[in-house]
Amino acid sequence: MYGKLFSACLYGIDGRLIEVEVDLSNGIPHTSIVGLPDSAVREAVERVRSAIKNCGYAFPLQRVTINLAPADLRKEGSAFDLAIALGILAASNQIALPEEERILMIGELSLDGLLRPVPGVISMVDLAKRQGFDAVLLPRDNAAEAMLISGISIYGLKHLNDLSSDKEASGSDYGVPSPGQKRGKALSRPRPPSGQAIKRPLVISSFNHLQCSASDASRSSPSPPASAGDYSDVLGQQHAKRALTIAAAGRHNIMLIGPPGTGKTMLIRRLPSILPDLTEEEALEVTKIYSSAGKLTETATCLVRNRPFRAPHHTISAAGLVGGGTIPRAGEVSLAHHGVLFLDELPEFTRSALEVLRQPLEERAVTISRSRASFTFPASFMLAVSLNPCQCGFFGAQPPLPRCTCSPYRVAQYRERISGPLLDRIDMHVEVPLPVEWLNDKQPLSSQEMKEAALRARELQQYRYRGLEISSNSELSGRLLRQYAALDKEAEQLLAATFQSLGLSMRAYDRIIKLSRTIADLEGTNCISAGHVAEAIQYRQLDRRIADSIG
C-alpha cells in the first residue's frame, strides 16, 4: 500500500518541491519519517496521529514509512503535516483523492485537526504555478496570501473534516466502494484491524466547496501609507535635504555626520517618503522575503507596496544583519531589499557586524554557505547611517554648541571603529550642523517636492537603462559606467586633480562619477559638467578630512 503526494518547503526565500511518499506494510506498528527531517518534521508523527484520530479516521496499526524526497535536502518546519496526513489516509483507503488535478498540499495540523498557517506560502505557491500544478490546498488563513499569485486554483482548509461533507460520504462499509466511487491511485484496500472502530469512508470528489475566490484577497489594493513623516516637519537643513534627494534619485548610500540633536535621525527616518513605489516585480520579491521570514500578517490581502525601512539596534549580531541559522533565514539586509537599511550611531555597532556589509553593498546579494548547501538572499538596499563626529558628539561644533572634550586620541579611536573599506562604499558623507536658519524657515521643503524631483531623475534612468539588468545610477560599473556617465573635459580635469589631492581609491573615484550622473539627471541634462562633479566631491566629507589630517 503506497501513496505519493506533493508538498513544499523553503530554501532561502524560494520554494522547493518535496515528494511525500507513504508506505504501509505489515509488521509491528511503528511510524518513521526519513529524508533528513528536523525535529519539527519528526514531531509531525504525533500531530498527524492525534489529528487523524480526533477527526474520526483511524491511524493504521501497521508499519508506516514516510519518505520526504529529495532525501539529501534537509527539511524543517511544519508545512508537511497536511500532506503526510492525507497520504496516510489515502494509503489506507479511508479517502480517495481526485486524480484529475495535480495538487500541492501545505499546512500545519493541530491535534484536533485544525489547519494552522505556515510562513513562506507565497514562494511555495509561486513554485507550484511554475511546476505546472493545478491547485494548492492550504490553511484558510494563508489563502489571502496565496491568492496574490494568479493563474492557479487555491483551496482554503480550516479543518481536516472540511475535505468532505456528509452528503459526499458513501453508504458502503469500510473498504467496499460504492458504484462510481474513485480509489486512490495505486492503492489497495486494507482490512480494518480487529476490534477497532473505523469511520465510514469519505471520498473527495472535488475541492470546489473549498475554492477561494477573488473576494478573499485583492492583488491590486494598495498598502496603507507608511508613517514615515514628512520633510516639512524638518525646519532648515536645506543642504541635507538636497543630499537626501540625490540619494533617493540614484539609490546612493548616504551618511549624516553631526552633533547630537541636529536632526540626523529625523531626516533619515523620512527617507521612505521620497522613494518611488515598488514596481509589481519588486513588490512580489519583497513580499516573498517577508513571507519566508514570517513577517506578513495573517490578514495580508495585497503585495507589500511600501519600500522597506529597517532600523536594527546597534547590539545586533553579524548573523542578524546578513542572516544565518542551521538552515539560514533572511537577515536585516534582505528584509531591507529594495528599501532602506538605517544604522543609527554607526560606531556603536560591533566591528564584526559592520564588516559583513561589504559583500551585499557590492554584489547586492548575500551568500551563506553551510556544509550541505549554499543559500543566496537578495540584498539590494540603500544604506543610510548616522554618527556623531566624536564620542562626546561636539568635535568641530561651533557656538552656541558646547566645546568638544575629547582628546585627539579619543577622536581617532572613535572613528577607527568604522573601517576604511566600509566608508569607501558609502557614496555621500554629509555634515548636518546646528540649523541656525530654522527660525526663518517659514516654508520648509516638503516630501512631495523632493519626491517629484527624485521621480523625474528615476524616469530618466529607467529610460536610459531600458533592456539592461540595472535600473539606477548606483548600479553602474565597468563598461556601462564609461558609456553612460562620460565626463566633459573640464569635469575630467577637476576629478583628476581631486583624485591626486585627496588620495581617493578607485572605488571612491567611480562613486563620485555615479553621483555626478545622478546630479545631472536631477537637472535634466545628459552631459556631466564640472559643476556636477564639484557638488559630488563636496559630499565626500570624510575623504577630505582624512586628506587634511595626513597633510
pLDDT tens for each residue of 191-209: 444 334 445 556 666 677 7
User: How confident is the model over 163-186, as a mean pLDDT?
Assistant: 40
Rounded distance between C-alpha atoms, residue 128 and residue 134, angstroms: 8
Rounded distance between C-alpha atoms, residue 83 and residue 8, angstroms: 10
Instruction: Tell whether the model's pLDDT for residue 275 goes beyond 90.
Output: yes
User: How confident is the model over 253-274, as a mean pLDDT?
Assistant: 92
SS3 6: strand
Q: How far apart are the first and last CA of the chain?
A: 83
Consecutive H or E run containing 21: strand 14-25
More confident: 262 or 267: 267
Q: How long, in residues, is the chain?
A: 551
Angle at 335 between CA 329 and CA 336, to 5 degrees: 150
Residue 185: the pLDDT is 37
Rounded distance between C-alpha atoms, residue 120 and residue 285, angstroms: 12
pTM across the whole model: 0.82
**Band of residue 214 on the pLDDT scale cut at 50, 70, 90:** low
More confident: 403 or 31: 31
CB 424 within 8 A of CB 507: yes
Here the cell at position 370 is 553551510
Rounded distance between C-alpha atoms, residue 425 and residue 328, angstroms: 26
User: How confident is the model over 143-151, as a mean pLDDT?
Assistant: 88
Tens digits of per-residue pLDDT, 471-490?
A: 999 999 889 999 999 899 99
Residue with cell 488563513: 141
Query: Is 98 exposed, middle or buried (CB count within 10 Å of its CB: 0-12, 13-18, 19+)?
Result: middle
The average confidence (pLDDT) of the chain is 84
Instruction: Tell whether the model's pLDDT for residue 165 goes beyond 70.
Output: no
In the DSSP assignment, the letter for residue 214 is: G
CB 55 within 8 A of CB 161: yes
CB atoms within 10 A of CB 530: 17
Rounded distance between C-alpha atoms, residue 250 and residue 528, angstroms: 15
Percent of the chain at pLDDT exceeding 90: 53
Instruction: Tell whether the model's pLDDT for residue 415 goes beyond 90.
Output: no
Here the cell at position 431 is 555634515
Rounded distance between C-alpha atoms, residue 384 and residue 265, angstroms: 10
Angle at 467 between CA 335 and CA 427, to 5 degrees: 50
Rounded distance between C-alpha atoms, residue 458 and residue 250, angstroms: 7
Residue 532: the pLDDT is 95
Which range, of 90-99, 281-290, 333-342, 454-463, averages the lowest pLDDT? 90-99
Q: Render 340-381 in DSSP notation, one character per residue.
A: EEEESSGGGS-HHHHHTTHHHHHHSEEEEE-SS-EEEEE---
Amino acid at 548: D
User: How confident is the model over 234-247, as a mean pLDDT?
Assistant: 91
Residue 441: the pLDDT is 65
Rounded distance between C-alpha atoms, residue 447 and residue 232, angstroms: 7
Instruction: Tell whether the model's pLDDT for residue 190 goes beyond 60.
Output: no
Tens digits of per-residue pLDDT, 428-477?
A: 999 988 776 666 666 788 899 999 999 999 999 999 999 898 999 999 98
Instruction: Tell whether the model's pLDDT for residue 96 goes beyond 80.
Output: yes
User: How confident is the model over 536-542, as a mean pLDDT?
Assistant: 85
Query: Quick one: which of 546, 545, 540 has its CA closest to 513?
Result: 540
SS3 104: strand
Consecutive H or E run containing 121: helix 121-130
